[in-house]
């Protein structure tokens, strides 16, 4: 009874919250009521679901994050795997709603890790596709195409059919945003062919995009066919029940699309039929863009019939709906109205409207237009999410019906599972043996490395100790001998110090404990400084030739470490007395990365100590990879080329 009273109190507070002026005490009281109702749930799973449900209702509010944080913490503490995935998915939805791509990417990585642990990838692929859509809307279509292809291959290797399906949809979507229409059509048609039983939400999206693409290609029969398929799917989803606002907006958009095609083909009769059908779905609750298109299409219809007054009235009605929120649509409708005035012979009025439209076009700031378009796309995403939620509810009801059937086949599954687990145990045992052998091999490699390093340190150390003892114990040494011994001590001390410093740097880089002073610097100037330093240090030994088409390229890097990387590739050993080296290195820019290519590095021509050579390469590689770059050594023997890529920002 107490529980029922608490639930009624909570529902009453939620329903009446919009009518009561909010205050800090009211907010705290509502929050406390919600957590009391959550605490009264009979188990942890229901408690987590309840908190997530409140978050979904209040997703636009900052205070809603407290409920989601609590649900996430509860799922971690109680090891509720599915609830943990749901909570991470809701985090991604929240930051998608806020267009916060940085935080969305952060939680997407957490969701990916959790999905990999629990072998449940549905949440991850759905959130990943939303992230890719945001990337596409920002114009990063090249990244989206590459990422979609990569994830599709990963999903195929994991035998995740749903992941392959979603990645294929994401690839087609990326082609669509990149305006590669033929590629987008090819991928969408292949997805339909390979997934004839896809869910209704996916079919709605695919049919809608294909209709739009075929319309752009002037393939009107194909476009009409896809629109009809989309309409059939919506009729199947609604099932004849009273339509929600979301469903009504979708139906209105489909009918508007039919009308647009019939307007372009000049079929006034069918255009009229679909406009009459669209009237059933157009009311004050409809999405404003659909309403504007609807009334503008009526204006076009009357214009085709030369009913000028009715046409102008419909254009005015479309303009009155949302003039400030959609400036581009408003300007387009103004131009359509001016065209109607021109056709009706009212040239002065048409000229005035054309002038107003031109002034509006000139005064619209490009960034403001982009934000308005992003708002439109965000609203579409929300409507699509609501549509998915309603479809998910239907899926839950269907799941309850088929649960009885699942129980009947459970025993068979258990037997099959037991056989499968036995095979997995044998396979796991084999993999464990292989891993143990690999670990032993790694231990041996580590011992060999330590032995070699100890040997490398012992040689200069013995020289320093030996010559120092000679200087301290021998009293009758000549001046030339003292100078020779001192020089040998200095030379070996420098070599020993450099070797120890390199080993320490390597250890810190491998452990991720190296600290960098990252700041903005000019990479072109750094390359020139490296050349000057080498010319001063090895004037007659190393001949450097630096080539680049760039005058300046600012990057975020530790300038000291970048100079150290370059000079390590250009330097020769301190005791080197052989022939001179000709080194050629180039700097270029490719997209978001710079590339440094070094040919004829002394590191391969003049260094006889392979161990020290390997340490220098490992230091360079780990430094570059720390900043998400790459360090590769290509070619053979003395013709080896060092290829370095580094992110510009």
What DSSP assignment string belongs to 86-104?
HHHHHHHHHHHHTT-HHHH
pLDDT, one tens digit per residue, over 540-556 is: 788 888 889 888 888 88
381: in domain:
no
Task: Output helix, strand, coil percentages for the chain, rounded to the nearest 5.
Answer: 75, 5, 20
Burial of residue 267 (number of CB atoms within 10 Å: 0-12, 13-18, 19+): middle
Higher pLDDT, 222 or 334: 222
> Any residues with CB less than 8 A from the CB of 613 and at least 6 apart, and which?
603, 604, 607
Question: Sign of the CA dihedral 216, 219, 221, 222?
Answer: negative
> Any residues with CB less than 8 A from the CB of 629 and at least 6 apart, and which?
593, 644, 645, 646, 647
Nearest-angstrom CA–CA distance, 85 and 48: 12
636: in domain:
yes
104: in domain:
no
pLDDT, one tens digit per residue, over 514-544 is: 888 888 898 889 898 888 888 888 777 888 8
Shared-domain flag, residues 411 and 496:
yes
Mean pLDDT of 47-62: 85
Higher pLDDT, 519 or 328: 519
Greatest CA separation for the chain: 122
227: in domain:
no
Cα angle value 438/442/448 (rounded, 5°): 145
> Any residues with CB less than 8 A from the CB of 455 and at least 6 apart, and which?
none
631: in domain:
yes
Q: What is the domain range of residue 458?
A: 403-506
Residue 459: what pLDDT?
A: 66
Residue 387: what pLDDT?
A: 62
Last residue of a domain, one of 506, 537, 570: 506
Nearest-angstrom CA–CA distance, 559 and 518: 8
Nearest-angstrom CA–CA distance, 284 and 321: 10
Nearest-angstrom CA–CA distance, 6 and 536: 82
Beta strands in 81-195 (DSSP E): none
Shared-domain flag, residues 536 and 635:
yes
Token readout for 180 is 């590669």
Token readout for 156 is 């195929």
Shared-domain flag, residues 502 and 550:
no
Lowest mean pLDDT across 270-279, 428-437, 579-588, 610-619 = 610-619
638 pLDDT more than 80? no
Shared-domain flag, residues 469 and 418:
yes
- Average pLDDT of the residues of the chain: 79
Query: Per-residue confidence at 320, pLDDT binned at 50, 70, 90?
Result: confident
150: in domain:
yes
Q: By percentage, how much of the chain surpasses pLDDT 90? A: 2
Shared-domain flag, residues 600 and 541:
yes
Residue 334: what pLDDT?
A: 81
- The residues facing 557 across adjacent strands are 519
480 pLDDT more than 80? no
121 pLDDT more than 50? yes
Residue 404: what pLDDT?
A: 77
Residue 562: what pLDDT?
A: 85
Mean pLDDT of 619-636: 83
What Rg do the C-alpha atoms of the chain give, in angstroms?
35
Shared-domain flag, residues 566 and 630:
yes
Shared-domain flag, residues 418 and 467:
yes
Residue 222: what pLDDT?
A: 92
Nearest-angstrom CA–CA distance, 276 and 299: 13
| Torsion of Cα atoms, 334 then 337 then 342 then 345, to 10° | -130
Shared-domain flag, residues 418 and 500:
yes
Residue 13: what pLDDT?
A: 40
Query: Per-residue confidence at 576, pLDDT binned at 50, 70, 90?
Result: low
Residue 131: what pLDDT?
A: 85
350 pLDDT more than 50? yes
Single out the residue of 598, 510, 522, 602 nearest to residue 555, CA to CA. Answer: 522
Single out the residue of 566, 560, 564 nearest to residue 594, CA to CA. Answer: 566
Query: Is the CB of residue 212 less than 8 Å from the CB of residue 261?
Result: no
68: in domain:
no
Residue 373: what pLDDT?
A: 56
Residue 379: what pLDDT?
A: 45
Residue 15: what pLDDT?
A: 40
374 pLDDT more than 60? no
Single out the residue of 528, 566, 526 nearest to residue 547, CA to CA. Answer: 528
Which CATH number do you get for residue 542? 3.30.565.10
Q: Which of 131-140, 213-222, 350-359 has the highest mean pLDDT?
A: 213-222
Q: Got the DSSP string for 585-645?
A: EEEEEETTEEEEEEES-HHHHT---HHHHHHHHHHHHHHHHHTT-EEEEESSGGG-EEEEE
Helix (H, G, I), strand (E, B) or coil at 539: coil
Residue 392: what pLDDT?
A: 72
163 pLDDT more than 50? yes
Mean pLDDT of 285-314: 84
Shared-domain flag, residues 539 and 458:
no
Nearest-angstrom CA–CA distance, 211 and 185: 10
Instruction: Specify the pairing of strand 519-522 against strand 630-634.
Output: unpaired
Q: Please tell me the total count of domains within the chain.
A: 3
395: in domain:
no
Mean pLDDT of 205-223: 89
């Amino acid at each position: 009874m107490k529980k029922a009273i608490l639930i009624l109190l909570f529902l009453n507070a939620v329903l009446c919250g919009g009518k009561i002026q909010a205050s800090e005490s009211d907010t705290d009281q509502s929050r406390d009521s919600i957590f009391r109702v959550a605490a009264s749930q009979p188990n942890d799973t229901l408690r987590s679901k309840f908190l997530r449900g409140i978050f979904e209702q209040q997703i636009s509010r900052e205070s809603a994050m407290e409920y989601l944080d609590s649900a996430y913490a509860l799922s971690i503490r109680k090891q509720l795997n599915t609830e943990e995935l749901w909570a991470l998915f809701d985090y991604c939805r929240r930051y998608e709603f806020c267009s916060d791509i940085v935080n969305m990417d952060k939680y997407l990585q957490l969701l990916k890790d959790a999905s990999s642990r629990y072998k449940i990838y549905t949440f991850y692929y759905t959130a990943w596709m939303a992230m890719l859509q945001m990337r596409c809307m920002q114009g990063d279509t090249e990244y989206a195409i590459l990422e979609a292809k990569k994830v599709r291959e990963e999903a195929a290797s994991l035998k995740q059919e749903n992941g392959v399906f979603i990645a294929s949809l994401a690839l087609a979507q990326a082609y669509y945003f990149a305006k590669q229409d033929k590629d987008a059509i090819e991928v969408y048609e292949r997805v339909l062919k390979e997934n004839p039983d896809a869910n209704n939400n996916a079919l709605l999206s695919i049919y809608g995009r294909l209709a739009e693409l075929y319309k752009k290609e002037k393939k009107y029969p194909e476009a009409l066919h896809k629109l009809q398929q989309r309409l059939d799917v919506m009729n199947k989803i609604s099932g004849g029940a009273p339509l929600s606002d979301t469903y009504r907006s979708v139906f209105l958009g489909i009918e508007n699309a039919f009308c647009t095609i019939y307007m372009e083909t000049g079929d006034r009769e069918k255009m009229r039929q679909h406009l009459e059908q669209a009237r059933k779905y157009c009311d004050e609750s409809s999405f404003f863009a659909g309403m504007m298109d609807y009334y503008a299409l009526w204006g076009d219809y009357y214009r085709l019939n030369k009913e000028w007054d009715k046409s102008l009235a419909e254009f005015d009605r479309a303009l009155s709906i949302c003039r400030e929120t959609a400036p581009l649509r408003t300007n387009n409708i103004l131009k359509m109205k001016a065209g109607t005035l021109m056709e009706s012979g009212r040239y002065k009025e048409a000229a005035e409207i054309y002038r107003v439209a031109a002034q509006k076009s000139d005064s619209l700031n490009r960034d403001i237009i982009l934000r308005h378009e992003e708002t439109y796309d965000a609203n579409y995403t929300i409507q699509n999410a609501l549509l998915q939620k309603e479809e998910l509810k239907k899926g839950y009801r269907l799941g309850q019906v088929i649960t009885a059937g699942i129980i009947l086949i459970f025993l068979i599954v258990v037997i099959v599972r037991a056989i499968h687990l036995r095979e997995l145990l044998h396979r796991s045992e084999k993999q464990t043996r292989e891993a143990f052998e690999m670990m032993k091999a790694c231990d041996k490699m580590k011992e060999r490395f330590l032995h070699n390093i100890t040997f490398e340190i012992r040689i200069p150390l013995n020289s320093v100790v030996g010559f120092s003892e000679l200087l301290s114990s021998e009293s009758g040494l000549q001046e030339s001998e003292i100078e020779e011994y001192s020089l040998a001590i200095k030379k070996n001390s420098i070599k020993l110090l450099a070797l120890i410093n390199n080993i320490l740097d390597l250890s810190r880089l491998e452990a991720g404990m190296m600290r960098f002073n990252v700041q903005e610097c000019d990479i072109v100037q750094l390359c020139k400084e490296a050349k000057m330093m080498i010319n001063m240090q090895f004037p007659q030994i190393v001949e450097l030739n630096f080539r680049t088409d760039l005058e300046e390229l600012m990057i975020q890097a530790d300038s000291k470490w970048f100079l150290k990387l370059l000079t390590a590739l250009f330097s020769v050993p301190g005791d080197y007395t052989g022939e001179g080296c000709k080194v050629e290195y180039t700097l270029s820019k490719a997209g978001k990365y710079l590339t440094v290519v070094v040919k004829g590095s002394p590191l391969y021509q003049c260094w006889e100590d392979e161990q020290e050579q390997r340490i220098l390469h490992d230091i360079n590689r780990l430094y570059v990879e720390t900043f998400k770059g790459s360090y590769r050594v290509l070619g053979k023997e003395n013709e080896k080329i060092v290829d370095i890529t580094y992110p510009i920002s």
